[in-house]
Amino acid sequence: MPAATAANAGTGDAIEAPYGSWVSPIPISALVEGTVRVGAPDFDGDDIYWLEGRPVDAGRQVVVRRRPDGSTSDVSPAGANVRSRVHEYGGGAYAVDGGVVVYSNWADGRVYRVSSGGGEAIALTPEGALRYADLTFDRVRRRVLAVREDHTGAGEAVNTIVAIPLDASGTIEVLVDGPDFVSSPRPSPDGTRLAWTSWNHPNMPWDGTDLWQARLDDHGRPTVVEHVAGNPSEWTSAPAWAPDGVLHFANERSGWLQLYRRVHGRDELLTPMEAEFAEPEWQFGSPSYAFGPDGTIWAAGRSDGGDALWEIRAGSEPRRVEQPFTEIGPLRVGDGRALFVGAGPADFARLVLLDLASGSIETLRSTKSTAFDPGNISAPQPIEFPTTNGQIAHGLFYPPGNPRYRAPAGELPPLVVTSHGGPTSGASSALSITTQLLTSRGIAVLDVDYGGSTGYGRDYRHRLDGEWGVVDVDDCVNGALALADRGLVDRERLAIEGGSASGYTTLCAITFRDTFRAGVSYFGIGDLAALERATHKFESRYTWRLVAPFAGNEALYRERSPIHFVDRIRCPVLILQGLDDRVVPPDQAQSMMAAMAANGVPRAAIYFEGEDHGFRKAENIIRSFEAELSFYGQVLGFTPADPIEPVVVER
C-alpha cells in the first residue's frame, strides 16, 4: 500500500498538502519543554532514587529522592552536576546506602558525600586530574569502591579500582591495577569477596573481557585471585552476587550474551535462549538483571530489536513476564517490585515500579510532562530487507502520519534514514520526539539496525569487523532502496542523518554512494586517521577491529575517510558540532567544512559553544532540529509550516 494511503487512511476531511509541509500538532519546543532524562534508579530501604537530567538547566544532572509518601526532593546540592567523565561516557556517577549518597561532580571530577536529608557535601577525593565512576558501596567496611581514571601523568590515563573511605579520614587505596581497563567492582554480600572485569587494548569490552573474583583479607585487599570466565575474544559482563553469595555474570560463549552462575567452580547456564542479557558497556553501572530476596532473577533480555522481562529460577525454564515495554533500562528489584526505566512505541521513557506479583505498574517520573495523542503517533514497523552478500538487515520504519493532513494523489513522502551511534549499539523502539516531529510533518523515517548492531547475536555484531564504513553504509542504502521499491517513499527524496559513529556512516554514505540527496552529520567522523591520533583512551584502538590496525594500513584508513573524497559528494551537507567535544573533536567537522568549501559542495555548519558529545542545552537542542528541518525543506523540495530560522546553505 502506498505510504500516502497507509498513513492517512480514513481522513476524508483532511487537508491536502505536500509531504513535509504539514502543520504538526507536536511543536518543536516539545523537544525540551517538560522534558527531563531519567536513569540510574535504585532502592534504599523504603526510598527510591534516580538521576535526572534537565535540559532547561543546561543539561545538569541531579540525584532525586522519592519518599514512600510520593514526595520528591533533590539530594545533590544546588549547582552540582552528577556526571562522570571516565571513558568520556561516564556512568555509575552516584550510589546510595542507608541514606548516604556519594556522587561524582562533573566540574571537578571529585567524589562527594551528602546525606539524603540535606546538609553540606563533603569531598572524599582530592583535587586533581582524577575521575571516578561505577561507584559502589562496600557496606561491611564503610567505604566506596570505584573505577578511577588518573590523568595526572604523561601518556594514557591509568585505570584502577580504588577504595575510598566514606569518612574521608584515610588514604584512597588501589585494589586492582595492571590491565588497561577495569570495571564493575562488586563486593559480595558478606564482604569476603570482590568480583570485577578487565580488558586490554585493542579490545573494547564487548570484544573480549575477563571476569575475576578474589578473597578480601582483613584489610579489604584482594588476595587469592581467581579467573572466572572470559578471555580476549569472549565477551563477559555484568557480574553480580545473589543474596546467598553465588556469583552471576553474562557471557557470550554460545553466540548470545546469556546469564550464568558460578557454582562449585563450574558455570551453569540460566538462560538457554537467543537473547542478550546485558548491553555494550558504553557506560558504567547499568544493570540488566537483579535478584529477589529468595535468589529469583528478574532480567531484561534483548532479541529481534526489543527487550523482554524474564523471571529466572535455577533449574526451571525462564518465564516471560507480561509488561508493556519494549525498552527496559537499568533494572533494580526490591520488596516484590521491579524498578526500571521503561519505554515503548507509544511510551516515552519513564521510571516505573512493576509489581511482580500483580503486574500493576506505577509511573514515578516521566521524561515528558504531557502525553501525545495516540492518533498523532507513527508506530514503528519492524522490517527486514536484503543487503550485501545475500545477508538480511533490520530496521524500524516510521511512515508519515497526521490525521489533519493527506498528501496529493500520487505523491510519495521524503525519507530520512538514521542509525544508532557506537557503532556497537542498537536501534530503540521507544517513542522518540525527534522521530515524531518528522513523521507528523509528513517525513518518513527509517532507523537502521545495520550489521554490527547488538540484540541479534554475536555473528550479526561481527559483520562490521573490518568493514566499518562499508557494511553499515550498504545496509542504510539498501534499507532506503527497499522502502522505495515497495512504493513507500520517494526514491528521489532520500536523506540520511546521524550522530557520532552514525555521523561517520552518514558522511560515508553521501561520499561513497549516490543514493541520498541530503546528509546531516551531528559530530560525525570525517577522518579516521585523525580520530586514531586524537581520540580518548577508551576508544583509541576501536578502529583496529572496525577497520584494521592503523600501522601498515594507513592507505585503508584514507580510503575509508570521507574527507579525502569530498569531490565525490553530490548532495548538500549540514554539519552540527559541539565545540567541547572530546570524543569526536571539533576539528573533524571544521576540516570537513574546509574540504567541502574547497570543492564547491553545498554545505552548512553550526558550532555550539559549551556542548560536548551530544547536545544538552535546551536552546541548542531546539536550534539543531530547526536547522535540520530547514535544511531538508531546502534540499528535498518542501516548505516547513513552522516559523523557524532558516539555515544558510553556502554554495
Percent of the chain whose pLDDT exceeds 90: 90
Confidence of residue 147 (pLDDT cuts 50, 70, 90): very high
CA–CA distances in Å: residue 179 to residues 147, 200, 215, 267:
12, 6, 19, 24
pLDDT at 11: 52
Confidence of residue 178 (pLDDT cuts 50, 70, 90): very high
Could you tell me the domains of the chain? Answer: 3-31+372-616 (3.40.50.1820), 78-366 (2.120.10.30)
Confidence of residue 33 (pLDDT cuts 50, 70, 90): confident
Residue 482, pLDDT above cutoff 90: yes
pLDDT at 3: 37
Q: How large is the average pLDDT for residues 601-618? A: 91
> Rounded to an integer, what distance in angstroms lies between the CA atom of residue 61 and that of residue 53?
4
pLDDT at 612: 87
The residue behind cell 517520573 is 365
> Rounded to an integer, what distance in angstroms lies between the CA atom of residue 544 and that of residue 278?
24
> Rounded to an integer, what distance in angstroms lies between the CA atom of residue 300 and that of residue 245?
22
pLDDT at 118: 79
Residue 452, pLDDT above cutoff 60: yes
Confidence of residue 12 (pLDDT cuts 50, 70, 90): low
Residue 582, pLDDT above cutoff 90: no
| CB proximity list for 500: less than 8 A, separation 6 or greater | 421, 422, 522, 523, 524, 525, 583, 584, 613, 614
| CB proximity list for 188: less than 8 A, separation 6 or greater | 194, 195, 241, 245, 247
Residue 354, pLDDT above cutoff 70: yes
Of residues 651 and 43, more confidence is placed in 43
Give me the chain's average pLDDT, please: 94
> Rounded to an integer, what distance in angstroms lies between the CA atom of residue 337 and that of residue 412?
47
pLDDT at 2: 34
The candidate with the shortest Cα–Cα distance to 54, out of 76, 30, 81, is 81
pLDDT at 1: 31
Mind listing the pLDDT tens digit for each residue in 235-291?
999 999 999 999 999 999 999 999 999 999 999 999 999 999 999 999 999 999 999
pLDDT at 7: 47
Q: How large is the average pLDDT for residues 78-83? A: 96
Mind listing the pLDDT tens digit for each residue in 507-520?
999 999 999 999 99
**Helix orientation angle between 471-485 and 501-512, rounded to the nearest 10 degrees:** 70
Confidence of residue 4 (pLDDT cuts 50, 70, 90): very low
Residue 639, pLDDT above cutoff 80: yes
